[in-house]
Amino acid sequence: MRSPINSILFIAAMTAVPVSAQVGSAVTITNGNVTYTQGAIATGETPGVAEVLNGSGGDILYQHWWWFRVAGDTREFSFKADANATRVASGSSMTTTWPDVDSRGVFSATLQQDVFSTGATSGYLREIMTIQNLTANPLAIDLFAYTDFDVAGAGTDLARGNLSSQGVIDQTNTVLSAEFFGLGNTGNQVGAFATVRTLLTNTAVDNLAGWNGSFGAGDYTGAMQWTLMVPANGSASVLDFLATMACRPQLTGYGAGGAGVSGVPTINTDGYLLQNAIGPRPATIGLGNGAPNALAACLLSLNQGNSTLLGINILVDLGTMDAAFTLTDPTGAASRVLNIPPTPPALCGINLFSQWLVSDTAAANGVASWSAGLQMLSGGW
């Protein structure tokens, strides 16, 4: 008879062994507070049941999957549950392998998915998609990763970002937030459900058209594209992340600008102010409608202000202010890039206040025009 302690050890040992999972059923991986559930892999071009990404604060994910297009194909195809696909899961990791994708004899693929905890309510899913060329000729292939975040239900999402980042919050929820983050991608697109997914499931060749960095409120969906040339008998990998954040970012304008020769200068960003656990990242504060080829200053402070200097309404706190000077281009645009360090130290929940000043004799004060203020509440994972 097996003793109770031996039974416990036996069960513990078995749980540490990788478990082969059917691609036709859902699989869950966990790491501390973070849970990711990948639904059954579809047999057609449209993904099936909903997925889950939960950092213990609530599920933020509705759907996520991958597509490809080889040069010469007349449409995009999903990585589907073909006859050779296998999936193995163990603890915080899951590996799905296609030894011969769609039985073409052209390439194999491996999707490595791992979840990581970064705090009591935050963490991320990291994905590495690797393509192995099975032929003696270079392989031109495009990969597409698609994500549908429903941060607090569908229809009230706000998204901000750039080529590599799609940060998503919800108008109705002040806690949950998410980011779809890619490295090395060559294209992206954001749109309301199901416009982006339709590009991947229809019967036409579609390349992602990019986005203006702002979406919503609406039912967010987004995708990223990698255009690759895989060497003969070689391999190539792409990397993305789906994150549930420790704190919710937000952008809020305040105050009013003062006009110059080109009108009232504008202030903008290339996305939410975000910090993550995988490395440093830039954040850009942009200026528009400034005087052409003029001296400009981007003010940055930890506190909001409201003072007057030389007829200019300064909207950041002078006592904690930092100023960076630059020249506008012929269109009156300029930018300041902030280098956000990885966690730690944590900037989560920190407010930064910013404003642009532009040298402009056509302004009412004869000195400078200025933008409204921008409050940037930082988020992170």
Predicted local distance difference test score (pLDDT) of residue 154: 87
Ramachandran bin of 63, using left for φ above 0, alpha for ψ from -120 to 50, beta for the remaining angles: beta
Residue identified by tokens 């407010």 is 351
Would you say 187 and 213 are in contact if contact means Cβ atoms under 8 Å apart? no
Each domain of the chain, given as residue ranges in start order, spans 19-244, 250-380
Q: Is the pLDDT of residue 15 over 70?
A: no
**CA of 122: how far to CAs of 4, 69, 116, 242, 346, in Å?**
37, 34, 9, 11, 13
Q: Is the pLDDT of residue 12 over 80?
A: no
Q: Is the pLDDT of residue 318 over 50?
A: yes
Whole-angstrom Cα distance, residue 246 to residue 120? 8
- By C-alpha distance, which of 154, 117, 125 is closest to 36? 125
Q: How many beta carbons lie within 10 A of that of residue 103, not counting itself?
A: 11
Which residues are 334's β-sheet partners?
Answer: 287
Would you say 222 and 247 are in contact if contact means Cβ atoms under 8 Å apart? no
Determine whether domain 19-244 maps to CATH 2.60.40.10: no
Task: Locate 210 and state its tokens.
Answer: 């990019």
Q: Is the pLDDT higher at 17 or at 316?
A: 316
Task: Locate 278 and state its tokens.
Answer: 């995988």
Q: How many beta carbons lie within 10 A of that of residue 309, not counting itself?
A: 12
Whole-angstrom Cα distance, residue 135 to residue 150? 40
Determine whether domain 250-380 maps to CATH 2.60.40.10: yes
Write the pLDDT tens digit of every residue in 91-107.
999 999 999 999 999 99
Residue identified by tokens 């199901």 is 194
Whole-angstrom Cα distance, residue 188 to residue 223? 6
HEC string of 43-92?
Answer: CCCCCCCCCEEECCCCECEEEEEEEEEECCCCCCEECCCCCCCEEEEECC
Predicted local distance difference test score (pLDDT) of residue 345: 61
* 13 confidence band (pLDDT: 50, 70, 90): very low
Q: pTM of this prediction?
A: 0.91
Which residues are 158's β-sheet partners?
Answer: 169, 216
